[in-house]
Amino acid sequence: MPSKHPSRQEMPCQDPGERIGNFNEVALGFSENHARLEASRCLNCKNTPCIDGCPVGIDIRAFLTFVVEGEFKRALEIIKEKNTLPAITGRVCPQEMQCEAVCTLGKVKNGTPLAIGSVERFIADWNAMHDTGVVIETPPRTGIEIAVIGSGPAGLTAAGELARLGHEVTVFEAFHRAGGVLVYGIPEFRLPKDVLEREIEFLENLGVRIELDTVVGKTVEIQELLDDGFKAVFIGTGAGLPRFLGIPGEGLVGVYSANEFLTRTNLMKAYNFPEYDTPISVGRHVSVIGGGNVAMDSARTALRLGADTVTVFYRRTVKEMPARSAEIDHAIEEGIQFRFLRNPVALIGNEENRLVSMKLQEMTLGCLDASGRASCEPVEGKFEKVDTDMVIIAIGSDVNTICTSSTCNIETGRRGRIVAMDASQRTTMEGVFAAGDAVTGGATVISAMGDAKKAAKEIHEYITSGTSSNETSS
Amino acid sequence: MVTILSNTQLNDIIWQMDLEAPRIARKGLAGQFVIVMVDDYGERIPLTLADMDPVGERITLVYQVSGKTSLQLSQVEAGEQLSHVVGPLGHPAEVQEYGTVVLLGGGCGVAPVHAQAKAFKDGGNEVISILGFRSSDLVFWEDKMETVSDELIICTDDGSRGFHGFTTQALESQIEQGREIDRVISIGPLIMMANTVKVTRPHYIPTIVSLNAIMVDGTGMCGSCRVSTTDGTKFSCVDGPDMNGFQIDFDELLSRNSRFHEQEAISLEHFKKECKCKQAVQEVEKCK
Ligand SMILES: Cc1cc2nc3c(=O)[nH]c(=O)nc-3n(C[C@H](O)[C@H](O)[C@H](O)COP(=O)(O)OP(=O)(O)OC[C@H]3O[C@@H](n4cnc5c(N)ncnc54)[C@H](O)[C@@H]3O)c2cc1C
Ligand SMILES: Cc1cc2nc3c(=O)[nH]c(=O)nc-3n(C[C@H](O)[C@H](O)[C@H](O)COP(=O)(O)OP(=O)(O)OC[C@H]3O[C@@H](n4cnc5c(N)ncnc54)[C@H](O)[C@@H]3O)c2cc1C
Ligand code: SF4
Ligand code: SF4
Ligand code: FES
């Protein structure tokens, strides 16, 4: 018997055989028809669990209603109330753990949750294509200068929010391009860079200034910014310090951090070498260590750069993998291999210091840890050796303290994370706020945006009312 | 965009470029470097600050034409602009009153040695500079070095000028002559720095080398520049570039620095095909 609820619209994708030969976007996006059909599945739940599932609380039910009616511009307005970068989140949010995880449609028998992310992406893309120019009303300029450090999702969101309140925002970015992980980490085939450029242009139209090639902590100090007349500083410097395994052989030629591999390929466009100058050399048998989005991106990038085989080694099992499920599925379709319950203990080189193989420890799952994830332990005495000429380490990253280390007033905690008060995102330095991965450690685009929004609100309050624990009025 | 104030050839393969970079000129200290991108297709390459003029808001870089990007650099002219220059990066050189400091500079390493010699002299040290070149016609910045050194020793590989031999041999002979040396700084090709350490180690002379590992961001976020030391893995860009020479695994660094040789050759070929300036091409051929 057919289900009462029509099934979920499938996202059209580039054919796997074809896409491994290019860097074009894999997921092609919904058509108008797809989007309206999908939106029409919504049950209009009174209690809207989906909204609670979204870290920024987008009124999902409302925008879906507009989509059904074909009012795509109105739908975008609803989204933009809470989320300034829907073309991005629609593509990269781990929806199956957020809005879609709690969708009522997924709870009914044989049901599938509404494809909220895909519809969100459609709305953003449709409006960009039809150049609807959703107008954002901005109040009169306040003339108050605010500095934003870092141009990832956190920095861009804070900048956008503050500019919309009429403030003069300058974003300082260390790299020669704005976007943070969105430009140096997440590959073109998952997030086309013109989507990002579109969003950045939107901010610039709001009056946000972006100063590239500026490493705060080196080129200029936070204190100097405050002395120069910036009334508040927002830190959104991310978690860009790559973690290594700490095992023998990590200095061998052929061993990369995922950050290096992806930065060379995405930011520096090594996939277009030699048109672009930056080189990358990819092995024939590539091993990727890790199980998150970064590991999936590295594996799929290596395949596109011409590796014969790419294998992901993860110390737990597929169930515990933190990557978005769509990316795992796409990786499997593309022919990426997976070896679970394996953890490298040594990387082995030849006499020329080139990687030739890797020694793996067999692992087993233990009890659940505090986060509800199964822990894993080595199986004593069980090792194996695999041949490999390239290892990409994608086991997470820590916070780079280059921005804060020269300022002793900003307290940092475990792994360099900036201590920010939960509700306000205030740091321990007067007038300085922080959000995103720099505070939480590696997390998600949408959580960085959510916290940055909170910070922007606090900053606005701070500069307009001058309230603060140790200052009277401004 | 950063404006080029001048771009002058110092010898057959070495050039000096002055840039208008006020923020870097004011902040930069001896031992620090910048990362340069010639255009938006370019690679990010690190170059040491050879001199800063905070008043004139100018920085000076000295580079050796050794591949695509440096060749391209040599072809841009005063008045033109570089897409991106970021810095100052890395730790400044540690300058204290040590006593007698010997600085070794090889090839284009002479320029970074200049910035440091100046800093050590200002810091109250007796500065002996030992500069190495292949032959006499390649000597540059002798006058500039003289003003910041108490003693200047020029070495040439072919003996056409000064000490006949390598800088490390000149250093050895200084030690043999019983010279009291409190600190050695060595900046130049990896092989020269590795050999410096071989000379100084038996005499327990603290030796600092300036590591030229292959970099991308220069801010500690990629790990491309990592080196193995007896004190664990370090990132040259943020933990260095100056590091304790006794701790470095030079063999590993040598192989890591040659890991893109194949691509570098392709890149240069590709550029030469498009390159209109024949003369510069011949220059790089001479030096390869
Ligand atoms: C490969 C990869 C794939 C990912 N995939 C997903 C995904 O599919 N979905 C998802 O939700 N999340 C994903 N993430 C995580 C997500 O990208 C991050 O959580 C998010 O980007 C954090 O945003 P942020 O603004 O805090 O930091 P970042 O995006 O890291 O931006 C920080 C910015 O600050 C700049 N900066 C740092 N220090 C300084 C300084 N001293 N001065 C000036 N500028 C500085 C950096 O150059 C950078 O541009 C992925 C991460 C990676 C690495
Ligand atoms: C901290 C630091 C300071 C430096 N200062 C100077 C300087 O003052 N003057 C100078 O002439 N050179 C300096 N170098 C070396 C300079 O960066 C390289 O010569 C330059 O990158 C070569 O680029 P290319 O395209 O011309 O040649 P390529 O053909 O690309 O490379 C030639 C050789 O240069 C090295 N190299 C290549 N790319 C990089 C990179 N991205 N980062 C570092 N090394 C690379 C490699 O060992 C390579 O084999 C410095 C390097 C470092 C790390
Ligand atoms: S922002 Fe992310 S979590 Fe929120 S509705 Fe959109 S896709 Fe879902
Ligand atoms: S939970 Fe699902 S079905 Fe219910 S309102 Fe939200 S999107 Fe619609
Ligand atoms: S150059 Fe990237 S970490 Fe040093």
Say if A10 falls within a structural domain. Answer: no
Nearest residue to B80 (alpha-carbon basis) of B18, B155, B127, B152: B18
Say if B17 falls within a structural domain. Answer: yes
Question: Looking at the structure, do residues A391 and A402 belong to the same domain, yes or no?
Answer: no
Q: What is the pLDDT of residues A252-307, one digit of tens each?
A: 999 999 999 999 999 999 888 988 899 998 989 999 999 999 999 999 999 999 99
Structure tokens that stand for A432 in this block: 């300085």
| Rounded CA separation B283/B185 (Å) | 30
pLDDT value at residue A190: 96
Say if B44 falls within a structural domain. Answer: yes
Sign of CA dihedral A113, A118, A120, A123: negative
Question: Looking at the structure, do residues B209 and B111 belong to the same domain, yes or no?
Answer: yes
Query: Domain span at residue B143?
Result: 100-257
B56: closest CA of chain A, how far (Å)? 17
Whether residue A234 contacts residue A461, with contact meaning beta carbons closer than 8 Å, is answered with no
Question: Looking at the structure, do residues B124 and B181 belong to the same domain, yes or no?
Answer: yes
Q: Does B54 sit behind a cis peptide bond, omega within 30 degrees of 0 on the bond before it?
A: no
Question: Looking at the structure, do residues B8 and B151 belong to the same domain, yes or no?
Answer: no
B166: closest CA of chain A, how far (Å)? 27
Q: What is the mean pLDDT of residues A455-468?
A: 84
Q: How does DSSP assign A38-91, residue by residue?
A: HHTT----TT-HHHHHSTT---HHHHHHHHHTT-HHHHHHHHHTT-S-HHHHHH
| Rounded CA separation A441/A399 (Å) | 7
Higher per-residue confidence, A423 vs A225: A225
Q: What is the pLDDT of residues A45-69, one digit of tens each?
A: 999 999 999 999 999 999 999 999 9
Say if A7 falls within a structural domain. Answer: no
Ligand 4: nearest atom to the Cα of A102? 1
- Amino acid identity of residue B99, one-letter, is G
pLDDT value at residue A139: 79
Question: Looking at the structure, do residues A53 and A96 belong to the same domain, yes or no?
Answer: yes
Residue where a domain stops, chosen among B89, B116, B146: B89
Question: Looking at the structure, do residues B136 and B250 belong to the same domain, yes or no?
Answer: yes
Q: What is the mean pLDDT of residues A129-142?
A: 77
A240 Cβ closer than 6 Å to some ligand 1 atom: yes
pLDDT value at residue A409: 83
Provide the CA A312 distance to its chain's centre, in angstroms: 20
In this structure, chain B runs to a length of 288
Kindly report the CATH number assigned to the domain that includes residue A409.
3.50.50.60
- Amino acid identity of residue A143, one-letter, is G
Nearest residue to B33 (alpha-carbon basis) of B115, B88, B94: B88
Q: What is the pLDDT of residues A306-353, one digit of tens each?
A: 999 999 999 999 999 999 999 999 999 999 999 999 999 999 999 999
pLDDT value at residue B88: 96
User: CB distance B216–A273 less than 8 Å?
Assistant: no
| Rounded CA separation A396/A295 (Å) | 9
A132 Cβ closer than 6 Å to some ligand 4 atom: no
Residue with CA at minimum distance from ligand 2 atom 53: B212
Name the closest ligand to CA A185.
1
Around Cβ B169, how many Cβ atoms within 10 Å? Answer: 16
Kindly report the CATH number assigned to the domain that includes residue B183.
3.40.50.80
Q: How far is CA A26 from CA A10, A20, A23, A197, in A?
A: 13, 9, 8, 19
Ligand 2: nearest atom to the Cα of B215? 42
Starting at the edge strand that comes first in sequence, how are the strands of the sheet with A309-314 ordered?
A: A255-257, A390-393, A285-289, A309-314, A337-340
| Rounded CA separation A393/A314 (Å) | 11
Say if B193 falls within a structural domain. Answer: yes
Sign of CA dihedral A321, A325, A327, A332: positive
Question: Looking at the structure, do residues A79 and A111 belong to the same domain, yes or no?
Answer: yes
Whether residue B131 contacts residue B153, with contact meaning beta carbons closer than 8 Å, is answered with yes
The DSSP letter of residue A219 is T
Question: Looking at the structure, do residues A226 and A256 belong to the same domain, yes or no?
Answer: no
Nearest residue to B49 (alpha-carbon basis) of B63, B68, B39, B70: B63
Of B216, B219, B262, the CB nearest to A268: B216
Q: What is the mean pLDDT of residues A104-128?
A: 93
pLDDT value at residue B272: 86
A93 Cβ closer than 6 Å to some ligand 3 atom: yes
Best of B36, B222, B254 to substitute, by most chain A Cβ atoms within 10 angstroms, is B222
ipTM over 0.90: yes
Say if B281 falls within a structural domain. Answer: no
Of B43, B68, B220, the CB nearest to A241: B220
Structure tokens that stand for B262 in this block: 């194949």
pLDDT value at residue A219: 95
Percent of chain A with pLDDT over 90: 76
Question: Looking at the structure, do residues A390 and A405 belong to the same domain, yes or no?
Answer: no
User: Which burial class, exposed, middle or buried, applies to A39 when counting CB atoms under 10 A from its CB (0-12, 13-18, 19+)?
Assistant: buried
Question: Looking at the structure, do residues A155 and A189 belong to the same domain, yes or no?
Answer: yes
Q: How far is the CA of A189 from the centre of ligand 4 (A)?
A: 29
Question: Looking at the structure, do residues A62 and A37 belong to the same domain, yes or no?
Answer: yes
Nearest residue to A449 (alpha-carbon basis) of A207, A25, A26, A159: A159
Question: Looking at the structure, do residues A37 and A96 belong to the same domain, yes or no?
Answer: yes
Residue where a domain stops, chosen among B68, B89, B110: B89
Question: Looking at the structure, do residues A275 and A362 belong to the same domain, yes or no?
Answer: yes
Percent of chain A with pLDDT over 70: 95
Q: How far is CA A141 from CA A82, A161, A201, A313, A433, in A?
A: 22, 13, 19, 53, 22
B62 Cβ closer than 6 Å to some ligand 2 atom: yes
Residues of chain B in Cβ contact (below 8 Å) with chain A: 23-24, 27, 37, 41-44, 68-69, 83-89, 216-217, 219-224, 226-228, 233, 238, 249, 251-252, 255-256, 259-260, 262-264, 266-267, 270-271
A242: closest CA of chain B, how far (Å)? 6
Q: What is the pLDDT of residues A406-445, one digit of tens each?
A: 776 888 888 889 888 777 788 888 899 999 999 888 889 9
User: CB distance A280–B86 less than 8 Å?
Assistant: no
A402 in contact with chain B, both atoms CB, cutoff 8 A: yes
Whether residue A98 contacts residue A54, with contact meaning beta carbons closer than 8 Å, is answered with yes
Question: Looking at the structure, do residues B80 and B104 belong to the same domain, yes or no?
Answer: no
Ligand 4: nearest atom to the Cα of A105? 3
| Rounded CA separation A154/A438 (Å) | 9
Question: Looking at the structure, do residues B27 and B162 belong to the same domain, yes or no?
Answer: no
Instruction: Provide, as residue numbers in chain B, all residues whose Cβ is less than 8 Å from the Cβ of A278.
Output: 43-44, 216
Question: Looking at the structure, do residues A223 and A318 belong to the same domain, yes or no?
Answer: no
Number of domains in chain A: 3
A238 Cβ closer than 6 Å to some ligand 1 atom: yes
Phi, psi of B151 (to 5 degrees): -145, 135
Question: Looking at the structure, do residues A403 and A343 belong to the same domain, yes or no?
Answer: no
Say if A3 falls within a structural domain. Answer: no
Which chain A residue lies closest to B229 (C-alpha atoms)?
A251
Kindly report the CATH number assigned to the domain that includes residue A44.
1.10.1060.10
Say if A462 falls within a structural domain. Answer: yes
Size of interface A-B (CB pairs under 8 A): 121
Question: Looking at the structure, do residues B78 and B107 belong to the same domain, yes or no?
Answer: no
Residue with CA at minimum distance from ligand 2 atom 9: B63
Residue where a domain stops, chosen among A129, A157, A192: A129
Q: What is the pLDDT of residues A149-167, one digit of tens each?
A: 999 999 999 999 999 999 9
Q: How far is CA B246 from CA A328, B48, B212, B243, in A?
A: 46, 22, 16, 9
pTM score = 0.93
The DSSP letter of residue B248 is B
Residue where a domain stops, chosen among A99, A129, A159: A129
Say if B271 falls within a structural domain. Answer: no
Detail the DSSP E strand segments found in B134-212: 151-156, 163-164, 183-187, 207-210
Q: What is the mean pLDDT of chain A?
A: 91
B235 Cβ closer than 6 Å to some ligand 5 atom: yes
Q: Evaluate if residue A133 carries a pLDDT over 80.
A: no
pLDDT value at residue B284: 58
User: CB distance A354–B255 less than 8 Å?
Assistant: yes
B137: closest CA of chain A, how far (Å)? 32
Q: Evaluate if residue A36 carries a pLDDT over 90.
A: yes
Say if A236 falls within a structural domain. Answer: yes
Question: Looking at the structure, do residues B71 and B114 belong to the same domain, yes or no?
Answer: no
Number of domains in chain B: 2
Question: Looking at the structure, do residues A252 and A283 belong to the same domain, yes or no?
Answer: yes
Structure tokens that stand for B206 in this block: 């603290």
- Amino acid identity of residue A237, one-letter, is T
Per-residue pLDDT of chain B (288 residues; tens, 9 = 90+): 999 999 999 998 999 999 999 999 999 999 999 999 999 999 999 999 999 887 879 999 999 999 999 999 999 999 999 999 999 999 999 999 999 999 999 988 998 999 999 999 999 999 999 999 999 999 999 999 999 999 999 999 999 999 999 999 999 999 999 999 999 999 999 999 999 999 999 999 999 999 999 999 999 999 999 999 999 999 999 998 999 999 999 999 999 999 998 899 888 988 888 765 555 555 556 555
pLDDT value at residue B48: 95
Question: Looking at the structure, do residues B106 and B246 belong to the same domain, yes or no?
Answer: yes
Q: Are strands B58-64 and B232-235 parallel, antiparallel or unpaired?
A: unpaired
Query: Domain span at residue A340?
Result: 244-395
Whether residue B88 contacts residue A174, with contact meaning beta carbons closer than 8 Å, is answered with no
Residue where a domain stops, chosen among A85, A105, A129: A129
Say if A188 falls within a structural domain. Answer: yes
| Rounded CA separation A247/A232 (Å) | 43
| Rounded CA separation B43/B37 (Å) | 6
